[in-house]
């Protein structure tokens, strides 16, 4: 297997111009953080009876929506 790979697989060139999509990264990070807080604190605060949980759910949904829209455009 090593011999076949070394013979037929070409070395890839490093693309120094590749950039990180900061908006997508930020929105995904915010969505995951809000989801984690929503799930961790939801039971303690009686789920949607708490304003904090509602805000966390809205932040998670909004950030994930922006991430998806930004990713596909």
- Is the pLDDT at 7 greater than 90? The verdict is no
Q: Could you tell me if residue 38 is inside a domain? A: yes
Task: Return the residue matching tokens 């930004």.
Answer: 70
At 16 the pLDDT is 78
Task: Count how many domains the chain has.
Answer: 1
At 71 the pLDDT is 92
CA angle 34, 38, 43 (to 5 degrees): 170
At 67 the pLDDT is 97
Q: Could you tell me if residue 3 is inside a domain? A: no
At 55 the pLDDT is 96
Averaged pLDDT, 14-18: 78
Range of the domain at 60: 14-71
Model confidence pLDDT, tens digit, residues 24-64:
999 999 999 999 999 999 999 999 999 999 999 999 999 99
Q: Could you tell me if residue 4 is inside a domain? A: no
Q: Could you tell me if residue 2 is inside a domain? A: no
Q: Could you tell me if residue 9 is inside a domain? A: no
């Amino acid at each position: 297997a090593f011999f076949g790979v070394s013979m037929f697989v070409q070395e890839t060139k490093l693309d120094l111009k590749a950039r990180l999509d900061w908006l997508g990264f930020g929105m995904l990070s915010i969505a995951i953080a809000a989801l984690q807080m929503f799930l961790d604190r939801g039971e303690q605060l009686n789920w949607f009876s708490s304003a904090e949980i509602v805000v966390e759910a809205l932040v998670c949904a909004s950030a994930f929506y922006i991430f998806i829209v930004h990713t596909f455009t």
